[in-house]
Amino acid sequence: MSKSFTDEQVEALVRISKYEKILKRMCDNPIFKNFEPLPDYEIHTPISLRHIREKVCAFYEIQASEFYNKRKDETLVRARRDFCHLAKKHTKHSNFVIGRAMGKDNSTVIHHLKKEPIFANEIIIQ
């Protein structure tokens, strides 16, 4: 009993063989002979505001609900300040969007960015 391939399977095999030929030509090209990939630290990966918030909350050992509330405890203010600095450094979001991610407005973000970060350099984002 021989099993025949469907048209879709044949097309997939043809595409794979074309890609293999292209890849072989690229590998044989002298330009790519000495190609070295970028080190991990140079590869840019998009970081979300949620990810930054989670890392800041974990560093300061606070809950996300505490991060959003209106209290002005020293720990919460420091966490929000570091969040603003990290969000501005690692994302392309505006102050308005960063403020909304904290449950605050853009003037709060501007205020925090005028001040020096507390532990922003010690919080590992990746």
38-78 pLDDT, tens digit each: 454 444 557 888 999 999 999 999 998 888 888 889 999 99
Distance between CA atoms of 84 and 16, rounded to whole angstroms? 47
Distance between CA atoms of 14 and 34, rounded to whole angstroms? 30
Q: Which domain holds residue 19?
A: 7-39
Phi and psi angles of residue 35, each rounded to the nearest 5 degrees, phi first: -70, 130
The more confidently predicted of residues 51 and 7 is 51
Which residue type occupies 1? M
* Count of domains forming the chain: 2
Answer yes or no: is 125 within a domain. no
Tokens of 24: 């072989």
Q: What's the whole-model pTM score?
A: 0.63
Distance between CA atoms of 50 and 92, rounded to whole angstroms? 14
Tokens of 95: 């102050």
75 and 28 together in one domain: no
